[in-house]
Structure 1
Amino acid sequence: MAPRKEIDGSASVPAFYGKELRWKRESAGLTLKQTVEGSFYGVSYLSEIERGQRRMPLDLARHVDQVLRTDGFFARCCEDVRKARTSLYAPYFADAVEMEANARDIEEWSPMLIPGPLQLEPYIREIVHAFSPRDDDEVVEQRVAGRRARAWVFEEPEGPASWVVLHESILRQPIVEDQLMAEQLAHVAAVARRRRFIPQILPWSAGAHPFMMGSTFLMSFSDAPPVMYTEGMYSGQIIDDPGIVMQYQQAYNRLRAVALPPEVSLKMIEAAAEDYANGNHARRAERRRLAEEQSQHGP
């Protein structure tokens, strides 16, 4: 048996919290399995908390306090530990990133932008400049690095099984200049062709549909209940109420039902990339502009 790795409690606040949790558990003579018994969480989940690699949910903290008879210590401290975690990401998104790293499946709806882990650097920079125009170069670089650090979610074999529904407007309204947009969409298509995720396009003509709001993704786990994360421009929220998560899951299933089939969607992404690359998108845009000017001025 490999020797147990000691926890360096000085490394971070989460590591200190996790080391104290392990000490209390072992002092009580309990295994990880015995400690989580009766909760919704698995052994690996608690083990990662002890190693400072995962946050402690409040319901699990209360359960641990009861089992270990720690007088509410872990419940009182778990929110402070969450706030203390340093990250490249906005505070409201840090917990979602942590959950993403442990997800078994991810189902995502993206109404306006290519999902973050699929974005290339030029695309990311344009979004950062649009959302936070006062950020200096150092902050921009940090945001770019944080976004690209999540690329493994879709690009690596060990990433979660993923299903992504994109609105057609993402293909038709370029965020960057045409050649860069061509490279960005070609990248999305190439990752999908490697079977790293399943894409579906929701066409302009779909009409009313579920999730007529900001981006959303649902995450399911092997050792914990499913959760949903929804995000606006400057805020985000994790929802873990089982009944509400189930409602969102059912809505996502309906969204997939009205979107185009995966293979048709993938070919549409590839065709859009080719249009940007060969200048067809720019020519069509110019023809529309001239037609609008002519209609405004009359015959």
Structure 2
Amino acid sequence: MANGSRQAAWEFFGIELKRRREDAGITQVELGARVFVSGGYIGQFEQAIRKPQLDVAQRIDGVLQTDGIFERLCRKLIDDPRYADYFAHVVELERLATRVCEFAPTVVPGLLQTQQYARAVTIAANPFKSDAYVDEIVTARLERSLILDDAARPEYWVALHENVLRIPVGGAQGMAAQLEHITRLMRERTAVVTVLPYEAGAHAAMGGMLKLMDFEDAPPVAYTETEYSGTLIDSPAVVMHAQRTYDLLRVAALSPEASLALVESAAEDFRRCASTT
């Protein structure tokens, strides 16, 4: 579904939710309390600011006795097939976040990927898929990165393990272009990127990637991912632990200045390699 169609689906969801809620004589605050979110969340659903989550939509159906209409809207109109089920909600939260912090142990985070890098990663994970499928996934990933071009973009902090700089995804030339893209974002102060060097040894997040998101009007969340699944975490205690893990990573990482020098050096290494092949 194209972006415009998805937005129209959100707006229809919001209009229908407001109509059904008012017909039932329930305020936003009252409905929010009964489906375990704030009244402000309900208002954001109705204004098509926040994408409705499936579990909340199901609870709304139960409270308003709407015979599953909001669940069906979520499943048929709003969910984006270009993203795995476990990641689709994360994409929407990125757009609402005031700050995003990521740790990447092996792969450049999606928000930083170039087209060539994204294509190489997608093909590696989907060797039997068609070019049309690959193009759709890559386009979706590049669309996500547009939030970094927005004047209201979130603060974006990234800690990269040195692995990310050394694995030649997309070949030497493609990898050089990817690292140069990262250095440009660093120099433009679009993102604060630090590198956890091999010399750091054992580190706090050896289990895998970690994303933290802060919001203006909602509690922070954490997201972790393995090769086949991802987990969005909103438990305050677990999120606090994840935030401490990220703090420990930042302490162990190189300074932004030293990190920039290392990324530039790695890019130059790949450029030299590409020129000799």
Q: Residue 62 of structure 1 contacts residue 74 of structure 1 at CA under 8 Å; is this kept in 2?
A: no
CA spacing shift, 1:157–1:255, aligned 2, 3 Å: same
Q: Work out the percentage of aligned pairs sharing the same amino acid.
A: 38
2:63 to 53, 71, 75: 71
Calculate the TM-score normalised by the size of structure 2: 0.84
Judge conservation of contact 2:57–2:74 (CA < 8 Å) in 1: no
Equivalence for 1:141: 135
Structure having the higher helix fraction is: 2
Aligned pair partner of 2:259 in 260, 265, 276: 265
Name the CA distance, whole Å, in 2 between partners of 1:264 and 1:79.
Answer: 49
Q: Which amino acid aligns with 2:128?
A: R
- Is the partner of 2:174 in helix, strand or coil? helix
The question of 1:47 aligning with 2:40 is answered no
Structure 2: distance between partners of 1:235 and 1:72: 32
Alignment correspondent of 1:241: 235
Partner of 2:204: 210
Q: CA deviation at 1:40?
A: 6.1
Change in CA separation of 1:224 and 1:73 when aligned onto 2, cut-off 3 Å: farther
Summarize the Cα distance change of 1:41–1:188 in structure 2 as closer, same or farther, 3 Å threshold: farther
Q: Which residue of 1 aligns with 2:75?
A: 83
**SS of the residue aligned with 2:63?**
coil
2:15 maps to a residue whose letter is: K
User: 2:14 maps to which residue?
Assistant: 18
Name whichever of 236-245 and 33-42 sits farther off: 33-42
- Pairwise CA distance, 1:30: 6.8
Structure number, greater radius of gyration: 1
**C-alpha distance in structure 2 between counterparts of 1:281 and 1:169, whole Å:** 22
Q: Is the 8 A contact 1:166 1:201 kept in 2?
A: yes
Report the counterpart of residue 103 of structure 2 in structure 1. Answer: 109
Contact 1:42-1:223 within 8 A present in 2 as well: no
Root-mean-square deviation over aligned CA pairs: 3.2
1:153 positional shift: 3.2
Q: TM-score, normalised by structure 1?
A: 0.78
Task: Spell out, residue by residue over 1:148-206, the C-alpha distance to the aligned partner (whole angstroms, 9 max, x if none).
Answer: 10112334432210110000011122112212211110001101111111111001111
Quick one: which amino acid aligns to residue 79 of structure 2?
T
Residue-by-residue CA offset, 1:56-77 (whole Å, 9 max, x unaligned): 4588679979xxxx73648977
Q: Secondary structure at the match of 2:262?
A: helix
